[in-house]
Copies of this chain bind each other. A is one copy, B any other.
């Protein structure tokens, strides 16, 4: 496929999050020329949200040289489907049901729109501008409130037959394990290796043992992954055990993912990665122990070095450069 786009073309990247929607205008080298943000929660109807977004973003497009310079708009959204361009039953967004988001934006902006889920967008961003540059096989895992993932094999994102591939956060790692309140499933990766999971593990450990811990001075309601991290950094044994346990489960899951697609690297992103070696060390150890020999000591676990605010916009805009030119 010959690349026929000229270097002067620009792309719009939009990242729709549960709280805020970030957007920017990006050149082919990943320079964010303009950027902005609006709330995702001001409008109970998606039409109102799109009107507001259009108002702010269209001005920005004019400043950047007008719509003629824009190759297209890339959107990353929770539960976004690449094939249909819809956002389906996203639990953290105010708009319910199946939203034909790409189509609505296309009609509003008169520009081509490509949409995928946020973790897939992040994976493409890493491939074009981040830690996965030059890689054809890697897995991106976002460890935030939940666990998202984007999988690249043979240089292409895996969307699956229906556009929903890459829900690694919902794979079952501990059969009959912890209940995930959102999905009703038992023992999924997300129920352990997310900020929510770290909080629950800490509460469980506090309840099950008499071990001294500075976390006991905090009301249970206020204990979150950040508090557990701070306690661990102060040498709190129980808090360190929480990360040890979390890493063991994450590492086991990563081993399974490696034996599936044999990636060159696994790239971690999101809040939990700020815990650094506290979580990375047990994760790495557990992954290696559970890997078949032929995979051992081969797969890099990397932490994304893109700024969190930029990565979302970059990832979404990168979708545009991947679009087939009409």
Contacts and interface: CB of A to CB of B under 8 A. Distances in A.
A262 B174 contact: no
Contacts of A292: 167, 170, 183, 185
A164 interface: yes
Contacts of A183: 292-293
Interface in A238-278: 252, 255-257, 259-264
Contacts of A185: 290, 292
A160 to B, nearest CB: 2
A34 B290 CA distance: 44
A133 interface: no
B154 A262 contact: no
Given A158-B153, A171-B256, A260-B257, A295 B164 contact: yes
The complex is assembled from copies of this chain, and their number is 2
A260 B137 contact: no
Nearest to A255: B172
A49 interface: no
Interface in A1-28: none
A162 interface: yes
A159 B135 CA distance: 14
Nearest to A172: B290
A222 interface: no
B151 A298 contact: no
A158 B259 CA distance: 11
A250 to B, nearest CB: 12
Interface of A: 88-89, 135-137, 151, 153-154, 156, 158-168, 170-175, 183, 185, 252, 255-257, 259-264, 290, 292-295, 298
Given A160-B262, A161-B263, 9 more contacts: A153-B158, A153-B160, A153-B165, A161-B264, A167-B259, A172-B252, A172-B290, A183-B293, A185-B290
